[in-house]
Amino acid sequence: MYLDKDIIKEGNPILREKAKEVKIPLNNHDLLCLEQLFQYLIISENDELAKQYNIRPGVGIAAPQVGESLRMFAMSCVDFLDEKQTKYAYAVINPKIVEASTEMTYLPDGEGCLSVVRDTIEYVVPRHYQIKFKAYVYDFFTKKTKFITKTLKGYPAIVFQHEYDHLDGILYVDKMLHKDETSAIPLYTVKNDE
Ligand code: ZN
């Protein structure tokens, strides 16, 4: 399993590389990496286990953050449930964002990253409010990889964009601004059209 010591921190050039496409079906090495990324998030969601293993809580983690320059990441937004109580948890491989809304938003308290240890509390990161992506996702229960197209909005869309950026060597600190420098609307005040 990955521990905090395995997480590559800002300043390491691996985080700045454009990650390579993953071969489908996944080989054992890549699958183990993806599995451990997902496991990190699951453990981090449990306060007791997170304390026991001394890991920072996270809602997303990308392969380059553990030194694997591969286009895959895990996300798990358990604290965010939408009106349909969907748990946005995915093990994502070779994602492509194919559509993005012009409407921009940001998390009012800013973003954080397992690879960034400095304090960026005064800054926010403008993100597309809604995105549509195509990707392979791995299901750990059925042990199957399937290709999906999905639309995300609000919080899970922000998490997806943050992780997606990691695959292109981009960190949120590259995009952060002061609130008065952006015309984006803070999340939770964006009108929900459903
Ligand atoms: Zn990150």
pLDDT of the residue at 189: 64
Tens digit of each residue's pLDDT, the chain (194 residues) = 999 999 999 999 999 999 999 999 999 999 999 999 999 999 999 999 999 999 998 999 999 999 999 999 999 987 766 777 777 899 999 999 999 999 999 999 999 999 999 999 999 999 999 999 999 999 988 999 999 999 999 999 999 999 999 999 999 999 999 999 999 999 986 555 54
List of domains in the chain: 4-186 (3.90.45.10)
pLDDT of the residue at 125: 98
Burial class (CB in 10 A: 0-12, 13-18, 19+), 191: exposed
pLDDT of the residue at 77: 87
Count the neighbouring beta carbons within 10 Å of the beta carbon of residue 188.
11
Residue of 48, 83, 163, 194 with catalytic role: 163
Q: Is 181 a catalytic residue?
A: no
Determine the distance separating the centroid of ligand 1 and the alpha carbon of 122, expressed in angstroms. 17
Determine the distance separating the centroid of ligand 1 and the alpha carbon of 30, expressed in angstroms. 19
pLDDT of the residue at 190: 55
pTM for this one?
0.94
Determine the distance separating the centroid of ligand 1 and the alpha carbon of 111, expressed in angstroms. 9
Determine the distance separating the centroid of ligand 1 and the alpha carbon of 57, expressed in angstroms. 12
Beta strands in 111-174 (DSSP E): 123-124, 127-128, 130-139, 144-153
Which of 49, 40, 62, 182 minimizes the C-alpha distance to 113? 62
Tokens of 140: 């750990």
pLDDT of the residue at 87: 78
Determine the distance separating the centroid of ligand 1 and the alpha carbon of 61, expressed in angstroms. 6
